[in-house]
Amino acid sequence: MSRAGATALRGEGLTRTFRSAAGEVHACVEVDLDARPGELVVVTGPSGAGKTTLLNLLGTLDRPDAGRVWVGETEVTALDEDALAEIRRRDLGFVFQSFGLIPVLSAAENVELPLRIARTDPAERDARVAEALRLVGLADHAAQRPAELSGGQQQRVGIARAIVAEPRVLIADEPTAQLDSRTAAAVMDLIVDLVHTRGIAAVVATHDPILRARADRVAELHDGRLIAADAAEPASDAAAAQPAEPAAPTQPAEPAAEGRLRRDRRR
Ligand SMILES: Nc1ncnc2c1ncn2[C@@H]1O[C@H](COP(=O)(O)OP(=O)(O)O)[C@@H](O)[C@H]1O
Ligand SMILES: [Mg+2]
pLDDT score at 250: 45
Q: How far is the CA of 47 from the centre of ligand 2 (A)?
A: 7
Tens of pLDDT, residue by residue, the chain (267 residues): 444 448 999 999 999 999 988 899 999 999 999 999 999 999 999 999 999 999 999 999 999 999 999 999 999 998 999 999 999 999 999 999 999 999 999 999 999 999 999 899 999 999 999 999 999 999 999 999 999 999 999 999 999 999 999 999 999 999 999 999 889 888 999 999 999 999 999 999 987 777 788 899 999 999 999 997 675 544 344 444 444 444 444 444 443 333 333 333 333
Burial class (CB in 10 A: 0-12, 13-18, 19+), 81: exposed
Domain hosting 64: range is 4-264
CB 131 within 8 A of CB 115: no
pLDDT score at 232: 54
**Which residues crowd ion ligand 2, with CB under 5 Å?**
51-52
Q: What is the rounded CA–CA span in Å between residue 35 and residue 200?
A: 9
Beta bridge partners of 11: 33, 69
Q: How far is the CA of 109 from the centre of ligand 1 (A)?
A: 33
Q: Is 50 in the pocket of ligand 1 (CB under 6 A)?
A: yes
Q: How far is the CA of 130 from the centre of ligand 2 (A)?
A: 31
Looking at the structure of the chain, the number of domains it has is 1
For CA atoms 222, 228, 230, 236, the dihedral sign is positive
pLDDT score at 18: 97
CATH number at residue 98: 3.40.50.300
Residue among 10, 28, 166 nearest 75 (CA): 10
Put simply, whether the predicted model's pTM sits higher than 0.95 gets the answer no
pLDDT score at 199: 95
